[in-house]
Structure 1
Amino acid sequence: MTDQTDLDDAEDDVALDTTEEGESLLSSLMLPVCILIGLSIVGILIGLSFM
């Protein structure tokens, strides 16, 4: 029983490491993407208001 929990712990640690790396990569990509989307929405609204 103890061997199984040790294996699970190791797998959980690996999963945590990969998710943390994925989250940092995702957050670093999401910030410029959100800024671009926000600017494009503002640009569209300004363009519509001038039409």
Structure 2
Amino acid sequence: MISIVLAPIESSIASRIIADTVEGGLIKAVDAETKAKKFMTYLHIDRAQY
């Protein structure tokens, strides 16, 4: 697992990139019960399987 600490302005950019990637179906939340996005873990979706 990789942990990265971001500056506040970088955090908003990263949040937008993550949201776009989830919307595009490339990653998904591992635990949908986690409400705090700061602690969310994502799993890569291998689109080649579909």
TM range (shorter): 0.3 to 0.5
Higher relative contact order, structure no. (Cα contacts within 8 Å, ≥ 6 residues apart): 2
- Select the structure that is richer in helix: 1
Q: What TM-score comes out, normalization by structure 1 length?
A: 0.38
Q: What TM-score comes out, normalization by structure 2 length?
A: 0.38
Larger Rg: 1
